Amino acid sequence: MRVIVNIFIIYLERVVIWSTIKQQISVDNLSNLDSPKNFASSSYNLSPPVQNLAIIIPKRSYFTSSVSRTPKIELHSVSGDLGGAIATHKILFEAVASLGNIDNTEFINFDSLESACEQIKFKYIGVSGVYKLSNKNDPHRFYIGSSNNLARRMDEYNKLTKGLRNPQSSAELEISETPAIEWGLDIIYITTPQLSLVYEQYAIISLNPTMNRYLRVVPRVNPLWGNNLDNAIKVIGKILSLFPEGSEGYNRFLVFLKTYQIANNLKYEVEYVDSKYYCSLIFAYDKDSPNKDPIVYSSINRALKGLQISYGTLLDYINNKYIYKSNLILSFEPLVADSFSEYHEKPVGDNLLRKHIIVFNQDNEAVFEFKSGREMSRFFKIDGKVARAAIAKGEYLDFLLITKGVPYRKAIYVYDSNTHELIKKLDSVTKGMKYAKVNFYTLKNLIDRGNPYEGKIYSYKDKL
């Protein structure tokens, strides 16, 4: 009898959830979704009740005006429990609405992260969107992010604030230090999985969040989408038209446009779908042939196999902008030839390099950077020996650790002791010792005290 009662209760819950979702869906938007021809079970797909949903449109409560420049956001305080912590993002929504078949929405506001988790844990399972978390005690501190499962992401943040989950980034660390009831939540856009990162980039450029460490979103393409990105490409093209050529917004969406156009013509193989390294394209450029099209790998896995390198090495060369095997420039996104000059050979055997430790999460994002193993051990509250062993191994918990050589050479400026005119700039202490023909300690004293030596003054300052 108890089993029958339980089954009946589950049935009633599903009926209630389905009726709630139906009220949220705008059937006018069903044609806007880029649905793959063959859906497979994945956390990146929309949940069945909302697979055909492009954007949810609540009632608007903002003013309209012409947008003919790079979008700049005017923040206006509104009344309510959050006081000045909530802002109407006027041009953010207006500019998107002006794109015609791209629907925009007034942000969906929740009083707190704590209350939001209870309200959305069923309604937004598997639903993609862009959100904003604001510190109610300090409204200037806010974070913009996106997820292909809003319910799951908010539950993760809620667990952070209760100490049930470890922070995976500097933003998550800050979120974990404040109770969930003190974080306000706005869902800015409800969109398709193909466009969640696109809209996140648009919101970041428009709102300039203070808690985001990086303001550039790297495009990712899920192989499950197949070659069904035509509508997403159209949307990106229209967003691109909102920005003047050469602006940061224009350059970022040009990267998205090129990435999606290339991805739309790639051949995807099913065997890579089950790996965590399959959603990022890898571009390999020949630095000696800047006008030549790059080799494009449809996933990190295929790049690792094709380049015969490890995952850690790949991230090392991409993030530190090293040239691989003397001629290859590797990147997660399309590059322009002018940027090739930023890449250089990896330093070898240089004892004047300080080793910084860069920490990457499972999304290939650099989330922390430590100047030393000691600093890392203090942050994670672990023994120094454990930190050194983790650095040597390249892993700690769920993080990947990459060391980066940071030069600490100081330029030395040589001035005429009488006229104080600059005579020469020396790139290192070693060159300074050779130029002055003195030992290290003598040169250090000359620099520290500013005393003339043989008609010259040695200084770290570029002006006397």
Render 70-137 in DSSP notation, one character per residue: S--PPP-B--STTGGG-B--HHHHHHHHTTSSS-----EEES-HHHHHHHHTTTTTT-EEEEEEEETT
Closest by CA to 191, choosing from 265, 127, 126, is 127
pLDDT at 77: 32
Model confidence at 454, in pLDDT bands (50, 70, 90)?
A: very high
Collapsed DSSP state (helix, strand, coil) of residue 331? strand
pLDDT at 277: 64
Per the CB < 8 A criterion, the answer to whether 316 and 322 are in contact is: yes
Mean pLDDT of the chain: 78
Per the CB < 8 A criterion, the answer to whether 198 and 236 are in contact is: yes
Residue spans of alpha helices (H) in 279-329: 300-307, 311-319
pLDDT at 25: 33
Residue of higher predicted confidence among 347 and 217: 217
What's the CA gap between 375 and 234, in Å, rounded?
Answer: 47
Q: Measured between alpha carbons, how far is residue 283 from residues 221, 295, 328, 341 in Å?
A: 13, 6, 10, 17
Task: List pLDDT tens digits, range 56-68.
Answer: 333 332 222 223 3
Residue 240, token pair as written in the block? 């691109």
Model confidence at 176, in pLDDT bands (50, 70, 90)?
A: very high
| Element of type H or E holding 424 | strand 422-426
What's the CA gap between 455 and 424, in Å, rounded?
Answer: 13
Per the CB < 8 A criterion, the answer to whether 84 and 152 are in contact is: no
Q: Which range has the worst mean pLDDT, 17-31, 127-141, 154-168? A: 17-31
pLDDT at 46: 34
Asked if residue 365 has pLDDT above 90, the reply is: no
Q: Which range has the worst mean pLDDT, 150-159, 263-272, 284-293, 437-446? A: 263-272
Q: Which range has the worst mean pLDDT, 16-25, 85-94, 364-373, 387-396? A: 16-25
Tell the residue number behind the tokens 């809620």, with chain if given: 158
Tell the residue number behind the tokens 């639903």, with chain if given: 127
pLDDT at 271: 53
Other beta carbons within 10 Å of 353: 15
pLDDT at 104: 43
266's CB contacts (< 8 A; 6+ apart) are 227, 281, 296, 298
Residue of higher predicted confidence among 295 and 52: 295
Residue 122, token pair as written in the block? 């069923």
| DSSP state at residue 219 | P
Give the Cα-Cα-Cα angle 167, 173, 177 (nearest 5 degrees): 120
Can you say whether the dihedral through the CA atoms of 11, 40, 188, 134 is positive or negative? positive
Per the CB < 8 A criterion, the answer to whether 404 and 354 are in contact is: no
pLDDT at 6: 52
User: Could you write out the DSSP letters of every residue in 144-195?
Assistant: EEEES-HHHHHHHHHHHHTTSS---SHHHHHHHTS-GGGEEEEEEEEE-GGG
**For residues 239-265, average pLDDT:** 94
What's the CA gap between 92 and 71, in Å, rounded?
Answer: 7
What's the CA gap between 358 and 401, in Å, rounded?
Answer: 6
Q: What whole-number percentage of the chain has pLDDT above 70?
A: 73
pLDDT at 96: 62
**For residues 221-246, average pLDDT:** 90
Model confidence at 462, in pLDDT bands (50, 70, 90)?
A: confident
Closest by CA to 360, choosing from 329, 332, 323, is 332
pLDDT at 103: 42
Residue 144, token pair as written in the block? 């913009």
Collapsed DSSP state (helix, strand, coil) of residue 403? strand
Where are the strands (E) in 275-416, listed by range? 282-286, 295-297, 328-331, 353-360, 366-370, 395-396, 399-407, 412-416
